[in-house]
Structure 1
């Protein structure tokens, strides 16, 4: 019985450690975000037809993704080294970094609440959302290459 308890404890510890890497956690969150944004972008670029229900579902998924963003948990002190493109500016200006993410979330919530009824409305809303992405990437991300 004791061996079983130890084995279960070790598995629980390993599982929690697998989810305790802030670099991997934030990369997974951003990959998910990029996939959702990419889907909406196809509609905005007229590469896919506008479907109000599908767009709303994507906006809701983007909002849920943005609501999972916790700068303190994803960018703790010491997580600025390793396989990351997070710029040192994040830790130098955490308040500014959080403000950019807060604006991003607010713009997504507004777009979701408005439930765009046509592609032109979506293009306007998506422009605001995408500008937040650009601001963050230019200021708080190190370019690869």
Structure 2
């Protein structure tokens, strides 16, 4: 009869390696989920601003502050959720360019942070001032999505 212990050992080793690898995958999914949640918040703020621009919602200085505060808070947190091990999985829309051109991604993020802060500091008191600030901020969204987001089509 042959000794089956080496086979059993190999099976146990593979099973142990699989168990150890599971937490790493969970960390990846946590980062992806966090950045997706932040983008949902950003999208909600952007939608509120767009409704003002379209005349579907009334402008108020308080609403402008709320919109720009939300966008700035997202801008300040967003860059924290792109570890090297979160390139794939969880239906991520993050483009490889984020990791291939990290300086470009960081520069785009810093510009968004600065522009959302400037819009917040400008504290628009009327709709025309809001439109100007909102346009500056959302141009960042467009530029970043073109370079650093996978096409979801």
- The normalised TM-score by structure 2 is 0.77
Shift of 1:81: 1.2
Other-structure match for 1:7: none
Question: Is structure 2 residue 43 aligned with structure 1 residue 34?
Answer: yes
Matches within 5 A, 1:60-139: 60-69=69-78, 71=79, 73-82=80-89, 83-139=91-147
Residue 85 of structure 2 aligns to a residue whose secondary structure is: coil
- Contact 2:105/2:148 (<8 A) preserved: yes
Contact 2:28 2:86 in 1 (8 A): no
Cα distance, 1:19 vs structure 2 = 9.8
- For 1:104 and 1:125, the matched residues in 2 are separated by 12
Q: Is the 8 A contact 1:19 1:25 kept in 2?
A: no
Larger Rg: 2
Change (3 A) 1:33 1:78: same
Q: How many residues align?
A: 128
TM-score by length of 1: 0.81
8 Å CA contact 2:29–2:86 kept in 1: the answer is no
Runs of 4+ more than 3 Å apart: 17-20
8 Å contact from structure 1 (residues 100, 136) kept in 2? yes
Give 1 or 2: higher helix fraction.
Answer: 2
